[in-house]
Amino acid sequence: MDIRIINPNTTTSMTALIGRCAQAAAASGTRITAVSPKMGPASIESHYDEALSVPGILEEIRHGERDGADAYVIACFGDPGLYAARELAHGPVIGIAEAAMHMASLIGNSFSVVTTLERTVGMAWHLAERYGMRHACRNVHASDLPVLDLEKPGSNARQIILEACRSALAQDRSDCIVLGCAGMADLCEDLSAELHVPVIDGVVAAVKLVEALVGMRLSTSKRGDWARPLPKPYTGMLAPFALA
């Protein structure tokens, strides 16, 4: 089984971290290929960043289809371009926020999301609403860490996220924590051991979900919303994205 993990930002060191975490959790026989688009933002922390990341994501989906990938994970907590990616892909496509929230709802009656910047809190709430998880999501908490600071030496990122998780559990009385950034994937086990509650990383959650879907021989429905886009001309910089 070949799972293509797309980190929608262009920070390749983060892509490598995401790939290592995914491969460590994958079943034997699952091959993880973690990729970054050639174009797009260095990190995704706004609707503007999300919108400009989508062409790069779709380009990677097209590459995956050419190479025979069985499934895809979009490794950004905003799940940018998810529905468009499903229109292009034959195999399953899962976003990490979608995966983490659903997994959390199976092991607790409620969860809290701990994310990066305050400005992304509303974006996480929108996703909880979209996925029917508003009833289970007690609150969304910002650690006020920029995404790129997760990798910066001396940023004290682990401790800051740990304290944000502790505060979330105390305030919300929730049953588990959902980490709101793919760049936090390597912290999951340590945080869970420290906090004594389940901590869900969406990267691993999405990998396990797509493994299950592929194992069940289920693919993305091509009837209705996720049917293949109609061919038509595209102009300017988007001309290469026109479909035959």
User: How far apart are the two ends of the chain, measured CA to CA in Å?
Assistant: 28
∠ Cα 131 95 224 (to 5°): 65
pTM for this entry = 0.94
pLDDT greater than 90 at residue 136: yes
Alpha carbon distance 149, 189 (integer Å): 20
* Element (DSSP H or E) covering residue 139: strand 137-142
Q: What pLDDT digit, counting tens, does each position of 10-30 carry?
A: 999 999 999 999 999 999 999
Length of the chain: 244
Concatenate the DSSP letters of all residues of 65-98 into one string.
HHHT-SEEEE-STT-TTHHHHHHH-SS-EEEHHH
Listed residue (21, 36, 68) closest to 207, CA to CA? 21
Residue with tokens 């490794």: 75
* Element (DSSP H or E) covering residue 31: strand 31-35
Percent of the chain, pLDDT > 90? 95
Alpha carbon distance 21, 186 (integer Å): 6
Domain regions of the chain by residue span: 2-95+204-241, 97-201
CATH code of the domain made up of 97-201: 3.40.50.12500
Q: Which two tokens stand for residue 124?
A: 């996480």
What's 2-95+204-241's CATH class?
Answer: alpha beta
Q: Which two tokens stand for residue 106?
A: 């199976």
Alpha carbon distance 141, 168 (integer Å): 7
Question: pLDDT category, 98, cuts 50, 70, 90?
Answer: very high
At 153 the pLDDT is: 87
At 182 the pLDDT is: 94
Say if CB 117 and CB 142 are below 8 A apart: yes
Alpha carbon distance 235, 187 (integer Å): 43
Query: How many CA atoms within 13 Å lie on the side-chain side of 159?
Result: 4
Coil, helix or strand at residue 176: strand
Q: What pLDDT digit, counting tens, does each position of 164-181 carry?
A: 999 999 999 999 999 999
Q: What pLDDT digit, counting tens, does each position of 99-135 carry?
A: 999 999 999 999 999 999 999 999 999 999 999 999 9
Q: Do domains 2-95+204-241 and 97-201 have the same CATH topology?
A: yes
Alpha carbon distance 185, 191 (integer Å): 11
